[in-house]
Chain A
Amino acid sequence: MVWPLPLIPQPNCMERMRTMAWLTQTLGSSIGKKVLMAVSGLSFIGFLAGHLAGNLTIYGGADAFNGYAEQLHALGPFLAVAEFGLLGLFAIHVLVGLVLFWQNFQARPVRYAVNKSPGGKTIGSATMPYTGVLILLFIIFHLSNFSRFFVDQSATTIYQIVSNAFANPVYVGLYVLAMLVVALHVSHGFWSLFQTLGLNHSKYMPAITVLGVVLSVVFALGFGFLPVYIAFMA
């Protein structure tokens, strides 16, 4: 709080900081933290849809896929902005998620001896923090496999890198499993984010719930089938 003040000479600087308290108070509350999770989560759903649409060019063959990657990289600064945004949202989603997990763990210091679900809970909802951590590990693994920040793409095309990776059946298995985990995460996350944002309406909620399940199936099949296709059919 102290160090930026001499660097940014502004009158009423402290007053400004104080008046921003409403924002930290709103976002730092239990509902605020969930709003952060919901908004970042919705962005990831959008990202996954875009990512899946792009990846489907793999079915068009090596040229189509490499062309798609080139077009994406040709966006230059725009791509960078999108990446910063995604990374920022990702940091928020992971950090706030971990804080929520820790606080919720602490909220019941003495556990029940007998646990029985009265209904309501699903596998997706009960495993959210665990699938979340698995997805985090997967994304680190995924970026280290294919990202231009970690893999030199000047000599080889992205299609070669991808097909080399999926020549290994262990990679195929890991990727398919990871997509099932993503599907589980989305199956609870999608309807849950609307509930958190207060968008629960008797006319739309049934459709949102169904859409969440449809989306998780689409992501599981859409992404999950790609490594299998490359490994055995391409």
Chain B
Amino acid sequence: MGSDTINITLKVWRQKNAADKGRFETIAVNDVDSHMSFLEMLDTANEKLILAGKDPIAFDNDCREGICGTCGCVVDGIPHGPNKAMTLCQLHMRKFADGDVIAVEPWRARAFKVLKDLMVDRGPLDKIIQAGGYVSVNTGSAPDANAIPIPMEVAEKAMDAAACIGCGACVATCPNASAMLFVSAKVSQLALLPQGKPEAAQRALSMVATMDALGFGNCTNHKACEAVCPKEVSIVNIARLNREFIKAGVTSEAEVDLPLALVPAAEKSAKPRAASPEAPKPAKPVAQSTSGGMVLTGSIYILTFLFVLGFIWQSLASFL
């Protein structure tokens, strides 16, 4: 197993708060036990920083056993580090060699604001869940086993989708900062099962509309998300989300139901419920991006129309 302690150099992103510009700081961490996890290595680095009277590196973490989805940063360009199917807390320092320089960055996406150092606000993922990632029925007490027959392979597919821990690594690695793998997992785990079917159309429409309004990018099928997902959620789920969305958009009468916080300010003032003091502040960039989307869509239609009109005129002229 080789040497048990290594010396490494961290190039870690430091940012005081959301308003700060941030920069990389080089921190030498000596005598790292190679059986430590990556987070334990950060802990030891922080202890030394605190003893030296400096601000410790802020990073998210909770269970440290790979199941909660709280931890995660981009290590040498890959979310959760170089190991496949593994969260950052499960990455061990034996993966690194003595003298390595390791770059550590927070998740980067317009939708994820950096709060401090490596901590980002993943609240937008919660907002997507609020838009429809649930079933609104009284489930009562646990039903009898096999009261609702569900084939084994369907249950397995739903379980594979439900393995998503919402860590946001898919967004972090996506060249377009798209949240499609997350949304597709949350839509799939419900759409596959009988309990989720009654609200499937409304769910697909609302969750996708919320995802778009929050400033996530558009999926272009790079498959990078699938490669970094610590729970190996498959892009087959994205195809299912596309199916569910197209089906809902074209055949159902369900309408988009955005969470209150995302309703554009103009519409909200017309609604009496928005007058309550605890109603969250209207999210300004959201209102902008919605109207921006309308302008874009509108101009696409107009330009297409003009294009076709011009061509008809051209070719009629050539025929006559």
A91-B308 in contact (CB<8A): yes
Cβ of B259 under 8 Å from chain A = no
CA–CA, A116 and B296, complex, Å: 32
> What are the residues of chain A within 8 A of B175 when measuring CB–CB?
104, 121, 126
Q: Which of B209, B217, B224 contacts A117 (CB 8 A)?
A: B224
> What are the residues of chain A within 8 A of B303 when measuring CB–CB?
91, 95
A200-B236 in contact (CB<8A): yes
Which residues 46-92 of A sit at the B interface, judged by CB distance below 8 A?
A: 80, 83-84, 87-88, 91-92
**Among listed A105-113, A133-141, A219-227, interface-contacting one:** A105-113
**Among listed A29-37, A167-175, A179-187, interface-contacting one:** A29-37
With A25-B256, A30-B212, A198-B242 in contact, do A84 and B311 touch (Cβ < 8 Å)?
Answer: yes
CA–CA, A221 and B300, complex, Å: 35
With A115-B77, A149-B314 in contact, do A107 and B224 touch (Cβ < 8 Å)?
Answer: no
CA–CA, A31 and B205, complex, Å: 10
B111-A199 in contact (CB<8A): no
B225-A120 in contact (CB<8A): yes
Q: Which of A25, A34, A103, A115 contacts B249 (CB 8 A)?
A: A25
With A28-B294, A84-B308, A149-B315 in contact, do A107 and B235 touch (Cβ < 8 Å)?
Answer: no
> What are the residues of chain B within 8 A of A116 when measuring CB–CB?
76-78
Cβ of B182 under 8 Å from chain A = no
B315-A99 in contact (CB<8A): no
With A91-B307, A120-B225, A195-B235 in contact, do A29 and B212 touch (Cβ < 8 Å)?
Answer: yes
Q: How far is the CB of A99 from chain B (nearest CB, A)?
A: 5
B222-A121 in contact (CB<8A): yes
Q: Which of B103, B108, B221, B297 contacts A24 (CB 8 A)?
A: B297
A108-B76 in contact (CB<8A): no
> What are the residues of chain B within 8 A of A144 when measuring CB–CB?
none
CA–CA, A142 and B212, complex, Å: 37
With A112-B105, A126-B175 in contact, do A200 and B307 touch (Cβ < 8 Å)?
Answer: no
Given pairs A28-B297, A198-B244, 4 additional interface contacts (CB within 8 A): A30-B180, A95-B304, A108-B217, A125-B223
The 9 closest A-B pairs by CB, nearest first: A198-B243, A116-B77, A107-B217, A120-B223, A26-B249, A200-B239, A104-B176, A119-B227, A114-B77
A-B contact pairs, 11 of them (CB 8 A): A29-B209, A29-B249, A30-B180, A84-B315, A87-B311, A107-B176, A148-B318, A192-B221, A195-B238, A195-B242, A200-B236
